[in-house]
């Protein structure tokens, strides 16, 4: 499974110069230790959750919410953590991990600074993909669709219900910009924490809540015999909010 997930993101990249000594470091003991650790890993040696693709709801969101609750109940750590893939101005894919803030009839919700790298990419090309991986039950969910920035009211409400630390991080700002030093971050963070404690309703104009409206959702259930179940929902007409079709995929 890990190899499959790595393969999804694989792609050719332009050659870059390497710092002196990097090749030697990669060919030594650390490289051997890495490979030994990688080759020693095992996937799904224990029982996995069952899944009947014939007994599913008409809407993918209903199944997603059901699977999410089951993942949390299984002891899966941080089931709300997800990967968000976007595309930059040169057409190169970009990916990062962030947290799901909600999932409802409108889609999958997350938040970030509009001035961040992902915010800029979404403003230029408002389509994205999400990936959830829950190894405890052996499941993953892939979501693709258009992304919209929600209004100021919802964006402020999103930040208002989060922790003091989350507000301090948002107030620190400058996400994805080049950082001059750790000391510079420490000073900015300290000032942000002090403001977050004294102004719990402080506004962060760049903080934006987004929603991804899916036109395709795939549910993957792992199988210890590698007879994985892949069920894909596709919207009949991505330009509308019409019904969904379902189809099985070869693993």
> pLDDT digit string (tens) for 41-75?
887 777 788 899 999 999 999 999 999 999 999 99
Number of domains observed in the structure of the chain:
1
Q: Is 10 part of a structural domain of the chain?
A: no
Partners of 87 in the β-ladder:
93
Q: Is 150 part of a structural domain of the chain?
A: yes
Q: Is 2 part of a structural domain of the chain?
A: no
Strand duo 139-149 + 207-221: pairing: antiparallel
Q: Is 32 part of a structural domain of the chain?
A: no
Sole residue written with tokens 């760049």: 206
Under DSSP, the state recorded for 46 is S
> pLDDT digit string (tens) for 121-171?
999 999 999 999 999 999 999 999 999 999 999 999 998 898 899 999 999
Q: Is 15 part of a structural domain of the chain?
A: no
Q: Is 131 part of a structural domain of the chain?
A: yes
pTM of the model as a whole:
0.84
Q: Which CATH number covers residue 107?
A: 2.30.110.10
Q: Is 138 part of a structural domain of the chain?
A: yes
The Cα 209–Cα 53 span in angstroms is 33
The Cα 170–Cα 174 span in angstroms is 9
| CB < 8 Å & 24+ apart, contacts of 98-102 | 100/132, 101/158, 101/209
Domain carrying residue 136: 43-249
Q: Which two tokens stand for residue 203?
A: 């506004």
């Amino acid at each position: 499974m890990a190899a499959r997930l790595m393969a999804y993101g694989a792609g050719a990249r332009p050659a870059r110069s390497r710092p002196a000594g990097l090749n030697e470091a990669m060919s030594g003991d650390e490289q051997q230790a890495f490979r030994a650790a990688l080759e020693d890993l095992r996937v799904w040696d224990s029982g996995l959750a069952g899944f009947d693709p014939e007994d599913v709801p008409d809407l993918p969101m209903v199944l997603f919410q059901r699977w999410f609750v089951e993942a949390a109940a299984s002891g899966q750590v941080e089931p709300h953590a997800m990967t968000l893939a976007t595309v930059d101005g040169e057409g190169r894919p970009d990916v990062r991990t962030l947290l799901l803030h909600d999932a409802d009839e409108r889609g999958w919700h997350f938040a970030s600074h509009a001035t961040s790298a992902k915010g800029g990419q979404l403003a230029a090309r408002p389509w994205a993909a999400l990936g959830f991986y829950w190894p405890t039950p052996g499941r993953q969910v892939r979501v693709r669709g258009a992304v919209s920035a929600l209004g100021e009211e919802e964006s402020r409400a999103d930040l208002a219900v989060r922790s003091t630390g989350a507000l301090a991080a948002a107030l620190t700002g400058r996400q994805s910009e080049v950082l001059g030093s750790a000391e510079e971050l420490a000073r900015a963070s300290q000032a942000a924490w002090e403001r977050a404690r004294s102004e719990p309703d402080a506004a962060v104009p760049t903080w934006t809540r987004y929603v991804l409206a899916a036109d395709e959702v795939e549910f993957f259930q792992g199988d210890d015999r590698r007879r994985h179940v892949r069920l894909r929902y596709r919207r009949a007409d991505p330009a509308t909010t019409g019904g969904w079709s379902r189809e099985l995929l070869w693993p």
